[in-house]
């Protein structure tokens, strides 16, 4: 908060100083235009063609876009994605937040932050393929260890088909995804807390402010820019969810193309499996529009809260 | 007293959570020492005796150390370039007022929203027309333009950077780049370290782009090598060897991670002295 | 202002780039019509006596030199390449193995990018249609290859799959891949009183009989298959798409009923195909988990292998009777049967089908086509290579007819001394090559989803089939669908 207001050195003398910024951003802008902008513009062009991934790309106007909006399976994929993502994000951010509160608490002074932080981050280090392989084995219907444990503890009387039941499987993926990423969110939030000068907390503690008051009045407002980042990247990452549901349902078409079918999986199907690159490009742009609308809405909601 | 009990409970919960995070790792390392047959049959946390066998199998198929080296050659410069230039760009966006800065900020935010798979074919066409197939340049240079990192660091600077410090520096006659290096970078260090960890892991595990860009065995990075394990029937039979290869590939990440963790701590104490 | 100018400049540059890139991506399609300039002269010797390839190999042996790059999706071609380099020491072959799920992406991006490497490219049958159309594969009927002269040396259905829509030869496989049933001889004797492949084949004659066999086996304490996906290799009498029209034949529905009954009556061991327990079932009994049986005891330590094994010893287990796999399954079984080696037999299933096979061709953009053709001939058309491969792979089935006939009396001890080459050659003669279409992957997935929904009781058969039609029409709007 203090930072946002401080950016006002716009006296006439300073103009030449501000021009330094152009030099600073040149490397970024050049590389960005070549390696990010160009491929994306090309995709935009392809989305108006019937390009198959080879051969000629014949223009077809907006018909690919019309098709996306009429394709009920795309919208089903949209709902699936939201369904998986919402449960995931509540668990992931909720846990990360609780941990941040615990570790930034002045009274308990929990030790071992660096060790816990490293350990919580561990699941994020393993590649998604290994994690999926592991959980597929653990959660196997008739042969998985997880069901064996639950049955031994008499918690269930019949094995649960964790990865083959439309009402259960999406949430299993949510939980695994949250398990993989909560450490990451925690580190982000913690880095933000550590950026706050310690004297703020000490001063508040001397003034006799309680734990929740410190959290509400100091930590939370100062964390806001980081929180916006974490929330928006989680949203963007969530709506682009692909690896985990794709890998977890490989070999089970009913789940893969059913309750676990996310928007990017749908895009991938058309881009790489059935060779309709033009249509896949249109899906990509519709997906992008959806993310844009949702993020802007989220950004405004989070920004307004403070005022 | 009540505090102590609560504190104990908290520790128990935290340790339980930590165990949940460690178990898959242990399983992976233990499995690297077992033979494929017993891995298929049961789970155990007791190491097996097949480590030597697994090792011979992996290295009989390819030279994992070469892949290790290749991954390092890609991931280290990509991480450093990415961290440095993102910090520089973020600093420019957060500290200076210049024409187009808000436009650029919006472009960055928008590009974070574009699905990664989307530009793949265009990216390949570009690399191919630049004659950079089989070169590490298209794997390293694009790291300079990482919208997500810039966005994070901009937010980070806004929340931690005391602007008065910069004003003071200017009055002392310090150059802008000098101030970025001497004042801003140390203050941004925790944020940069956080992003660098993520960046290094991303670069180290990056699979799809290296896969399509690299076409020679001797240029393959670790993930591309490990994926080609799955195409090899000899090794697919032996789960243990695959686990071993994956376990080996994680070691450098652990090292970088430990190093960065320490760095975060030390930079914080340094920051608080200044503050 | 500066920023704007810069951006404009960059955009202009990018446009220029994108134009060159677009131009390039058309290259492979155009190229295929031209006769390759370089390749016409040096291989002239080969053209004169193409039919006698044994002779050919020997004369060529001395003067073959150069480098080749091979892209493939399994490691078998590494062995072929090593052998090739051993035979021709001046040749260097680099073989790149790419995971099958990534292979199409990688190959397409390279060839569309106009790369001249790889020289040798491969494809599985379902990938080939698109790639023929895209012009990735060199026309092998033209000089100097004249592949048509070799037509009668290769098993017919393999030869035909290697042809594009216009009958031009573009790829050849060194392998045939007829689907067969791999069954346990000891169990067959125990339950049905015979282990003769012809007799056991009758137990799999059609879906009704398969179910019957399944019940008999279950009553005797066995399971017919490890997974219910197993008989899928046999399903489908005709192509999914005929003349632009979706075609769901009666056999597909019958197969759906079969799977539903297998699933709901606990006739299989509920393993997932290609997952660990499935492999495990090849070598011995697997635990059978039903609603009634409880796992182990309370004291068992699930994390300790020994205690786990001891605790589950008393649990119900069952042995699996049969696996359905193409002829390359001989190798899968070889690696996984363990102590059951010698107890297996191979027999025919309800229909003649094939699955997979690595079809080898020359990239239309290669600059080393003559050497590439030598490599293809070496892999597919040389009896010497076929002899070596049969020996080396311990039982893979080649596509060269003369080799199959030469080895027709070879016995395979894992299968109780059965003469497999004779058997597979016989199966291959009945195969209809034309069932494959470029729509298969997506349509098979959709049909598989419908079957799962029906067998689990999530949907009625009618709803599931209606849903299937919807999915297909959303995926391929160009297909005519009659419901």
Q: Are C18 and A275 within 8 A, CB to CB?
A: no
> Would you say A281 and A44 are in contact if contact means Cβ atoms under 8 Å apart?
yes
Q: What integer pLDDT is reported at residue C431 of this predicted model?
A: 84
Does residue B74 register a pLDDT over 90? yes
Q: Are A126 and B25 within 8 A, CB to CB?
A: yes
**Contact with chain A for residue B10, Cβ under 8 A:** yes
Residue with tokens 């820019």: A225
Q: What is the pLDDT of residues B106-149, one digit of tens each?
A: 888 888 777 666 677 678 778 877 888 888 999 999 999 888 88
Q: Are A25 and B92 within 8 A, CB to CB?
A: yes
Does residue B163 register a pLDDT over 70? yes
Half-sphere exposure of C432 (CA within 13 A, CB side): 11
Using CA atoms, how far apart are residues B23 and B38, in angstroms rounded to an integer? 18
Residue C362 phi/psi, 5-degree rounding, is -105, 135
Residue A172's contacts (CB-CB under 8 Å, 6 or more residues apart) are A139, A162, A163, A248
Q: Nearest CA of chain B to the CA of C194: how many Å? A: 31
Q: Are A134 and B27 within 8 A, CB to CB?
A: yes
The pLDDT profile of chain C, 483 residues, written as one tens digit per residue, is 344 444 444 434 433 333 333 333 333 333 333 333 333 333 334 433 444 444 444 444 457 788 888 998 877 888 888 888 888 888 888 888 887 777 887 888 788 777 888 899 998 888 888 888 888 888 888 878 887 888 888 888 888 888 888 888 898 888 888 888 888 888 888 888 888 888 888 888 888 888 888 888 888 888 888 888 888 888 877 888 888 888 888 888 888 888 888 888 888 888 777 777 778 788 878 776 543 344 444 444 444 445 445 445 445 678 888 888 888 888 888 877 878 888 888 888 888 888 888 899 998 888 888 888 888 888 888 888 888 888 888 888 888 888 888 888 888 888 888 888 888 888 888 888 777 787 888 888 888 888 888 888 888 888 888 889 988 888 888 888 887
Residue whose C-alpha is closest to residue A125's, from C230, C426, B25, C58: B25
Instruction: Name the more confident of C236 and B257.
Output: C236
CB pairs under 8 A between A and C: 133
Q: Are B124 and C109 within 8 A, CB to CB?
A: yes
Q: What integer pLDDT is reported at residue C299 of this predicted model?
A: 43
Q: What mean pLDDT value characterizes chain B?
A: 79
Cα A283 to chain centroid, rounded: 19
Q: What is the pLDDT of residues A124-175, one digit of tens each?
A: 877 777 777 778 777 877 777 777 777 777 777 777 888 888 888 899 999 9
Q: Is the ipTM of this complex over 0.85?
A: no
Q: Are A125 and B265 within 8 A, CB to CB?
A: no
DSSP C169: B
> Would you say C235 and C472 are in contact if contact means Cβ atoms under 8 Å apart?
no
Q: Are C441 and A54 within 8 A, CB to CB?
A: no
**Contact with chain A for residue C463, Cβ under 8 A:** no
Longest dimension (CA), chain B: 71
Half-sphere exposure of B13 (CA within 13 A, CB side): 12
| Interface with chain B: mutation pick from C106, C117, C283, highest number of B CBs within 10 Å | C106
Residues from chain A that touch C136, judged by Cβ atoms under 8 A, are 54
What region, left, alpha or beta, does residue C371 occupy, with left being phi > 0 and alpha being psi -120 to 50 degrees?
A: alpha
Measured N-to-C along each axis, helices B185-205 and B64-95 cross at an angle, to the nearest 10 degrees, of 140
pLDDT band at A69 (very low <50, low <70, confident <90, very high): very high
Percent of chain A surpassing pLDDT 70: 91
Residue among A4, A21, A35 minimizing CB distance to B145? A35
In 3-state terms, what secondary structure has residue C418?
A: strand
- Interval A14-31 mean pLDDT: 81
Q: What integer pLDDT is reported at residue B264 of this predicted model?
A: 53
> Would you say C319 and C358 are in contact if contact means Cβ atoms under 8 Å apart?
no
Residues from chain C that touch B211, judged by Cβ atoms under 8 A, are 98, 102, 105-106
Using CA atoms, how far apart are residues B134 and B214, in angstroms rounded to an integer? 4
Residue A200's contacts (CB-CB under 8 Å, 6 or more residues apart) are A218, A222
The number of beta carbons lying within 10 Å of the beta carbon of residue C72 is 24
Measured N-to-C along each axis, helices A72-104 and A113-125 cross at an angle, to the nearest 10 degrees, of 160
- pTM of structure: 0.78
DSSP C398: B
Residue C468's contacts (CB-CB under 8 Å, 6 or more residues apart) are C446, C447, C449, C450
Instruction: Name the more confident of C11 and B213.
Output: B213
Give C 282-311 residues with CB within 8 A of chain A.
Answer: 286-287, 289, 291, 294-296, 298, 300, 302
Q: What is the pLDDT of residues A210-223, one digit of tens each?
A: 777 877 787 778 77
Residue C145's contacts (CB-CB under 8 Å, 6 or more residues apart) are C138, C373
Extract the runs of DSSP E, i.e. beta strands, from C154-300.
172-173, 179-184, 222-225, 241-242, 245-246, 286-287
Q: Which residues pair with C361 in a beta bridge?
A: C121
Residue C222 phi/psi, 5-degree rounding, is -110, 175
| Interface with chain C: mutation pick from B102, B218, B228, B235, highest number of C CBs within 10 Å | B228
Using CA atoms, how far apart are residues C120 and C360, in angstroms rounded to an integer? 7
| Interface with chain A: mutation pick from B138, B139, B142, B145, highest number of A CBs within 10 Å | B145
Residue among A57, A73, A256 minimizing CB distance to C474? A73
Residue with tokens 């030449």: A16
Q: Which chains touch C (3 or more CB pairs under 8 A)?
A: A, B
Residues from chain A that touch B89, judged by Cβ atoms under 8 A, are 24-25, 27-28
Half-sphere exposure of C159 (CA within 13 A, CB side): 15
Q: Are B115 and A24 within 8 A, CB to CB?
A: no
> Would you say A238 and A88 are in contact if contact means Cβ atoms under 8 Å apart?
yes
Q: Are A142 and C276 within 8 A, CB to CB?
A: no
- In chain B, which residue's Cα lies nearest the Cα of A20? B176
**Contact with chain C for residue B100, Cβ under 8 A:** yes
- In chain A, which residue's Cα lies nearest the Cα of C16? A38
Residues from chain B that touch A306, judged by Cβ atoms under 8 A, are none
Q: Nearest CA of chain B to the CA of A209: how many Å? A: 17
- Interval B66-72 mean pLDDT: 89
Q: Nearest CA of chain C to the CA of B72: how many Å? A: 21
**Contact with chain C for residue A29, Cβ under 8 A:** yes
Nearest 5°: the CA angle C12, C18, C20 is 110
């Amino acid at each position: 908060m203090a930072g946002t207001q401080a950016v006002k050195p716009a006296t006439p003398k300073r103009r030449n100083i501000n021009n330094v910024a152009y030099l600073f951003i040149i490397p970024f802008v050049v590389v960005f235009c070549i390696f990010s902008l160009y491929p994306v513009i090309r995709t935009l062009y392809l989305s108006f063609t019937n390009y198959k991934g080879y051969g000629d790309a014949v223009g077809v106007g907006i018909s690919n876009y019309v098709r996306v909006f009429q394709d009920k399976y795309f919208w089903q994929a949209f709902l699936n994605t939201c369904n998986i993502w919402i449960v995931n994000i509540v668990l992931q951010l909720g846990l990360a937040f609780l941990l941040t509160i615990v570790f930034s608490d002045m009274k308990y002074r929990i030790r071992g932050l660096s060790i816990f932080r490293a350990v919580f981050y561990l699941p994020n280090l393993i590649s998604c393929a290994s994690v999926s392989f592991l959980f597929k084995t653990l959660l196997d219907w008739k042969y998985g260890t997880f069901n064996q444990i639950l049955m031994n503890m008499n918690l269930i009387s019949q094995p649960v088909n964790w990865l083959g039941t439309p009402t259960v499987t999406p949430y299993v993926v949510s939980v695994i995804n949250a398990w993989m990423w909560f450490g990451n969110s925690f580190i982000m939030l913690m880095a933000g807390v550590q950026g706050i000068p310690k004297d703020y907390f000490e001063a508040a503690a001397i003034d006799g402010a309680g734990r929740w008051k410190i959290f509400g009045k100091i930590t939370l407002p100062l964390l806001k820019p980081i929180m916006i980042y974490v929330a928006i990247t989680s949203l963007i990452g969530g709506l682009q969810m692909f690896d985990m549901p794709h890998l977890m349902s490989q070999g089970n078409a009913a789940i893969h193309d059913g309750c676990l079918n996310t928007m990017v999986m749908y895009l991938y199907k058309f881009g790489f499996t059935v060779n309709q690159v033009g249509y896949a490009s249109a899906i990509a742009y519709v997906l992008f529009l959806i993310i844009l609308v949702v993020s802007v809405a989220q950004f405004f909601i989070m920004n307004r809260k403070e005022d | 007293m009540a505090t102590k009990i609560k504190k104990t409970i908290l520790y128990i919960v935290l340790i339980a959570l930590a165990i949940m995070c460690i178990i898959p790792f242990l399983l992976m390392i233990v499995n690297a020492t077992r033979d494929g047959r017993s891995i298929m049959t049961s789970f155990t946390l007791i190491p097996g005796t097949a480590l030597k066998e697994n090792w011979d199998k992996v290295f009989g198929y390819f030279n994992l150390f070469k892949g290790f080296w290749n991954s390092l050659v890609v991931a280290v410069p990509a991480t450093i370039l990415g961290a440095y230039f993102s910090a520089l760009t973020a600093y420019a966006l957060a500290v200076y007022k210049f024409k187009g800065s808000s436009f650029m900020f919006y472009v960055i935010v928008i590009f974070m929203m574009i699905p990664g798979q989307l530009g793949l074919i265009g990216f390949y066409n570009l690399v191919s027309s630049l004659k950079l197939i089989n070169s590490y340049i298209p794997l390293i240079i694009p790291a300079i333009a990482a919208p997500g990192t810039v966005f994070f660091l901009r937010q980070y600077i806004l929340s931690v950077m005391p602007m008065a410090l910069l004003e003071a520096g200017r009055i002392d006659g310090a150059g802008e780049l000098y101030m970025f290096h001497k004042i801003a970078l140390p203050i941004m260090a925790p944020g940069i370290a956080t992003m660098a960890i993520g960046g290094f892991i991303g670069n180290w595990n990056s699979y799809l782009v290296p896969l399509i860009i690299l076409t020679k065995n001797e240029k393959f990075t670790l993930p591309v090598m490990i994926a080609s394990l799955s195409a090899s029937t000899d090794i697919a039979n032996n789960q243990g060897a695959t686990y071993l290869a994956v376990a080996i590939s994680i070691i450098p990440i652990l090292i970088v991670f430990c190093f960065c963790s320490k760095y975060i701590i030390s930079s914080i104490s340094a920051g608080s002295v200044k503050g | 202002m500066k920023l704007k100018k810069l951006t404009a400049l960059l955009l202009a540059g990018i446009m220029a780039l994108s134009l060159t890139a677009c131009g390039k991506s058309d290259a492979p399609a155009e190229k295929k019509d031209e006769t390759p300039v370089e390749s016409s002269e040096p291989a002239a010797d080969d053209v004169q006596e193409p039919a006698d390839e044994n002779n050919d190999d020997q004369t060529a042996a001395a003067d073959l030199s150069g480098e080749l790059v091979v892209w493939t999706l399994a490691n078998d071609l590494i062995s072929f390449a090593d052998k090739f380099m051993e035979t021709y020491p001046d040749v260097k072959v680099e073989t790149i193995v790419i995971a099958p799920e990534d292979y199409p992406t990688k190959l397409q991006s390279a060839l569309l990018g106009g790369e001249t490497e790889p020289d040798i490219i491969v494809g599985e049958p379902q990938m080939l249609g698109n790639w023929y159309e895209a012009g990735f594969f060199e026309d092998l009927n033209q000089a100097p290859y004249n592949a048509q002269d070799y037509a009668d040396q290769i098993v017919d259905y393999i030869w035909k799959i290697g042809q594009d829509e216009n009958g031009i030869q573009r790829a050849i496989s060194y392998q045939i891949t007829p689907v067969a049933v791999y069954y346990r001889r000891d169990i067959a004797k125990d339950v049905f009183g015979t282990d003769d492949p012809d007799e056991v084949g009758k137990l799999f004659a059609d879906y009704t009989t398969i179910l019957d066999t399944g019940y008999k086996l279950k009553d005797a304490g066995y399971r017919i298959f490890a997974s219910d996906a197993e008989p899928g290799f046999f399903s489908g009498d005709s192509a999914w798409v005929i003349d632009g029209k979706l075609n769901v034949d009666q056999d597909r529905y019958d197969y759906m009923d079969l799977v539903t009954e297998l699933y709901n009556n606990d006739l299989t061991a509920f393993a997932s195909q290609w997952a660990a327990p499935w492999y495990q079932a090849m070598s011995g009994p697997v635990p059978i988990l039903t609603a009634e049986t409880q796992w182990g005891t309370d004291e068992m330590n699930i994390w300790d292998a020994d205690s786990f094994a001891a605790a589950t010893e008393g649990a119900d287990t069952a042995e699996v009777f049969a696996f359905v796999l193409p002829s390359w399954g001989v190798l899968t079984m070889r690696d996984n049967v363990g102590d059951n080696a010698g107890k297996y037999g191979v027999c025919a299933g309800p229909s003649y089908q094939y699955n997979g096979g690595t079809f080898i061709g020359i990239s239309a953009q290669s600059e080393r086509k003559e050497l590439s053709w030598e490599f293809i001939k070496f892999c597919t058309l040389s009896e010497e290579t076929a002899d070596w491969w049969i020996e080396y792979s311990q039982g893979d089935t080649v596509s060269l007819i003369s080799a199959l006939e030469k080895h027709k009396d070879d016995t395979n001890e894992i299968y109780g001394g059965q003469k497999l080459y004779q058997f597979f050659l016989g199966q291959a003669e009945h195969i209809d090559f034309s069932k494959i279409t470029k729509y298969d992957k997506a349509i098979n997935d959709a049909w598989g989803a419908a079957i799962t929904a029906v067998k689990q009781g999530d949907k009625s058969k009618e709803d599931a089939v209606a849903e299937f039609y919807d999915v297909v029409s959303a995926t391929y709007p160009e297909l005519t669908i009659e419901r």
